[in-house]
Each structure stands twice: as structure tokens, then as C-alpha cells.
Structure 1
Amino acid sequence: MLSGIRRLVLVGMVILAAVPFGSAAAPPSACLAVGDSLAAGVGSTLPRERSAAALLCEWASTYWGEKSELVSLAVPGERTESFLRGGQAERLRQTVARLRAEGRAIRFVLISLGGNDLLQLRAADEVEREEQLAAFEANYAEAMRVIRSAVGDVPLLALTLYDPTEGDARAPRSDSWWIAQFDRAIRAGAESVGALVVDLDKEFRGRTGEWTWWPVDIHPTNAGYAAIARAAWRALAWDRQAPQVVIERPEAGSRVERRFLTVRARISDLGGIERVGLWVDGQEIGTLDPLPGADEWITLWETPWPLPGPPLRLEVRAVDRAGNEGRAAVELVRP
């Protein structure tokens, strides 16, 4: 009995010795969302997964090959004044201190402020609007300084406002003009602390009917939040590598001998593929669809068979979320 216990102890000692010290998994990095309802993901069907910050955090996790966790401090209805003096700024400082104590890196901070400040203008006269714009400009700049001071050298993503009416911002004193003035203040405040500006007015113009709940609600739909995430991903500029594209079918030099041919390509990219187009002789004729659980994309191509003619150049062009494009081409023989 005693010898059996000794053997168990020795086996346990060998196992412990085989496990190197410090081999525990690294703590997950953090992605922060601060500000108002847009940062919180109001309007999406599942903010913890489909808000812009959540999508961006998921993409960052895949790109950097690590586990990342979204930490959202955003408060629906938040204004710049309430952000600074209503508790969120202090919660940000405390959260950053906790993350640093846990040894966790912060990948980015997504910031949305200004929409609720703008809504205060609805019942104001022109003098009051000018005063509130000036107050917003000062508060926003201060908020950006507070955020920069709290997180240090971390990418800050400052969202501008978008105009759901898609009016003419050049018309003085119109609602669209006032939105443009707030966006100007956001750009100035963001750039003063080296933040990256994500221009939502440019992204949403012409798409608000598809990407927002307007006129019922001003907030984005799932598609709108995905668009915000893509714009923010491009602004981060982490991914500068074009997708790698290999055409597996049809093979180069093969003969076009039937009406329909399968086009299959293997496409890899750490930043994620946004779109894959099929081109023939310099003209886009369709897209490829992804196969589940693989880096394979596929479509059925209607060829010009049985018409004779010169060789065909079939090309697959893949664009990733950052806008980088990778290409591959094969030449095919016609009858």
C-alpha cells in the first residue's frame, strides 16, 4: 500500500515538473466602447454581438490571434456634459486601472458622443443653438482629452454623426447644416488627441433607409452597425495585406466544354473577406459564395460555350474588410 502511494506521489511530481512555470493562458485583451447609445449598440437585435464595437472586437480577436473581450461603458442618452461629470469618465479611469492591474491590453476605444447634445437644439432659437454648439465643442474636446489621458497610447475611434434626412449641409441654418457643424467639432476634438475619425455621414449617405430605423428611430439596424464596424476597421489600418487567392477550379489551360462550370477558389485573409467577385475578360459577371467552415469560395459560371473564339481570362478578385484586394487569374481555351 505504501509503495503504491509513493508511486502516485512520484507520478504527480513528474507531471508537475513537466508543466513549465508561466504557461497559464494570457488574459484576454479588451475592447472598450464609451459614450452614448450608438456605442452601446441600441437598435441592433443583440448589442453584445451585433453592435459595431462587438463586431470590431470579434474581428480584432481573429486578426491578432487572441481572445478579446468587449467592455462597454456606454450609456444611452449620454451627452458630453454627463459623460464628463455624470460618472462615465470616472468609470473609464477605474476600468482602465483594473485592466492594467490584470495585465490586459486594450486594443481600441470606440467613442460615440454628440447625438444627444444635438437633439437639445430642437426647441432652441438661433442664439441658444450657437451657445450649445460652443458648449459641445468645448465639452467634446475635454472628453477626448480625458479618454486619451485614461487609456494612453491606444487607438481611439471617434464616430461622427450621420444625417438621417440626407439633406443639404450647405444650406445655412438647416438641420443638416447644424449636423455638419457638430461633425466639424467632433473632427477637431478627435484630431487634437490623435484619434481616428470614422466619418459616418459619408458612410451612411444614400443608405439610411437600409442602415437605420429612420423615420421610426434614428439608430442603426444590424446592417448599419456592420457598416460602422467596417468603416472603423478601415480607420484602424491594421490590415494592409491583400487576400491570398488561389483558383482551384477550373485549372489554367483547361478547355471550356460545357455550358456551366464550377468556379472554386481558396482565399485566406486574417482581416476577413468582404466580397469575392468573378471577372471574365475584364468584366465582372458575378460573385462567389463562401463554403461553411473553410476558406473556400464557389459559384456556378454560365460560360459562352459552344461559341468559338479566343482564350478567356477568368479572374477572381477578393476584397477584405480593410479594402485590400487580392487577385488570381487563369486562361481558358474555347472550342
Structure 2
Amino acid sequence: MSSGQNLSAGCPPVGIQLEGIILPPVLTADVVLGLLGNIVALWIFCFKLKNWNPNNLFLFNLVIADFLALVSLPLRIDALLRGHWVFGDVVCRLNLFMMFSNRTASIALMTVVAVYRYFKVVHPHHRFNRMSKQQAGFVAVLVWVLVISPRLPMLAYNHLKGSGNRTQCFFFTSYKEASSAIIFLVGMHRTLTVVEFILPMTLLLFCSIRISCFLKGRKLGKSEKVAKAIRMCAAIVAIFLVCFLPTTVTTIGVWVIRSFRPWDCASFYTFTQLTIVSLGLNFMNSALDPIVYIFSSSMFRKALLGALSPILVCRKDRSGSSESSSGTQSTSQHELKSLTESRASKAI
């Protein structure tokens, strides 16, 4: 096929290839580890945490976002294992909407947590630190509105490709198969994918550097509060780099090929496959976020330790009672032996 024909006809549809091998085990690990950590976090927030502050409210919304993102993954794993999508158009739309909306919400809420900690440390007297729970709730609602609004058009279009046992539910499209509306929607999605990495990453680096410089300038670098603040920022930056940088790079690659080399179908396929595979790292974020809860909230840490202490005490008591029982049994046997010998000597 010539270049001119490629330009007019476009590239054929992209099916499941590399991601069918790599994604199922990665997404399964994300779901198992993520649901375990986030269910424990939900339990602590709902039943063990007595005093709420704005930071804990932001973290609670982060748990909700991670939980909903993880709940959407089993259908995706099923489709990858089968090799095709069997749940129909409506479920496909909802599945894609939940995956991408809650991933974006997770990114936004992690950034809010880091900015809140920045003001607490660097600007302790700023009015931002006097935020009430109601104001924090308004900020959380605003974040959800800003996150969900650009994703709502995903619900308006059919994202199924193929038919029968070749049906796929993808938000990544080839040129040939898509309408102009879908191509625009996918372009907007790619723009959001890049922006939602670069902007939060810039804010996180700024907060981390400013916190570190501020505390070193005041010679507070060894205080416990300082160490916790820096660890929290470092943890979020590390999670961002590991989980979201690969998707950003591959998305930019698809964008460049789509714009400047539309005849290069081989490169388009490669970057599209890598973009889909990198989604596995995106959702690893939801499994790693409990680390953020531990670093960011002293109340959460205390509630977690308070919830675990009865289990640890119970195990210690069992171990101690086992040793005591063993010692008692040994003493009883010794006493019985002495009594038997005494009776034998009397009989003689």
C-alpha cells in the first residue's frame, strides 16, 4: 500500500496483542493489592477515625477514587483473558468512564494533599490552614466536578470495535475506524493525560523543594515533623514517576505520529500498544496510595496502630500462654512423677 493510500484509508483497527499478555497479571496484582489496602483504609476512615480534619477528608476522597478505579478493572481483565469484550455497549462506556475519571481524581486529590501539607509547613499562618471541614468538603466536591466534567462525553459515544468474538472495548482508536467526533474525543483524552501529569508533577516538585529548602534554612531538617513532610512529598513524587510517566511518554509518542507521520502505521501500532500496556502502571498508583495515607496523616497512623494492636497483643498472649501451658504441663508431670515415686517408696 502506498503512502498516498495510507493517508486516505488510514491504519486498520488495533486489536489485542502485547497487552493481552502483559496486562492481565499486572492488573490482577493491582486489584488484589489495591483492594486489600483500600478496603482496610476505608474501614479505618469509616469506623476507627474519630477526629476529622481537612487532610483526612482529602485522603478519604482519595480512597474512594482509588477504590472505584480498582473495581472497574476486573471487567477489563476478563476481556483481556477472553480476547474480546462480552458485556455490551453500555457497560463498556461506564467501564471506560470509571477507569479514567477515577484515575484522574486520584492524581488530583494526591496533589491537593501535597499542597495542603506545603502550606502547613512553609506557611503555617496562612488562612489556607484555617480551612474548616465544610470548606475542605467544598474543595473535594470541586475537584470531583473538574475531574468528571471533561470525561462525561465518553458516556455519549459507542467505543466498541468489531463484532462477535472480535468485539473490543477500547478508548484508543485507529484512524480508519473512527468518526470525527471520536477522534476529537480521543484527542481531548490524550491532552488531559499529558496535562494531568505535567501540572501535578510541577506542583509536587515545587512543594517538595520548597519544604526542603524552608526547613533546612530554619535548621529544622532533623525534626520528626520535617522528616514526615519530606517523606510524604517524596513518596507522592515517586508514585507519580513510576505510575504515570510511561503513559505520558507513550501518549505524546502517539500524538506526534498521528500529527506528523500519519502513514507510519507500524510506529502507530507500537506506541498504541505501549500506551495500553502502561495503563497497568497507572492503576498500580491505587495500590501504592495507602503509603501516602500513612505518611500524610498522623491520625490515620494512630488509628491503624490502634486497630492492629489487639491482633498483635492476642498473638503475644497466645505465644505467652502456650509457653506458660508448656511450663505448667512440665511442672505437673514432674510433680506426678515425684508423687508416684513417694508412694512406691512407702509401699516398699
Give the number of the structure whose alpha-carbon radius of gyration is greater: 2
Q: TM-score range by the shorter chain?
A: under 0.3
TM-score computed with the length of structure 2 as normaliser: 0.23
Question: Larger % of helix: which?
Answer: 2
Higher relative contact order (CA 8 A, sep 6+): 2
Question: Larger % of strand: which?
Answer: 1
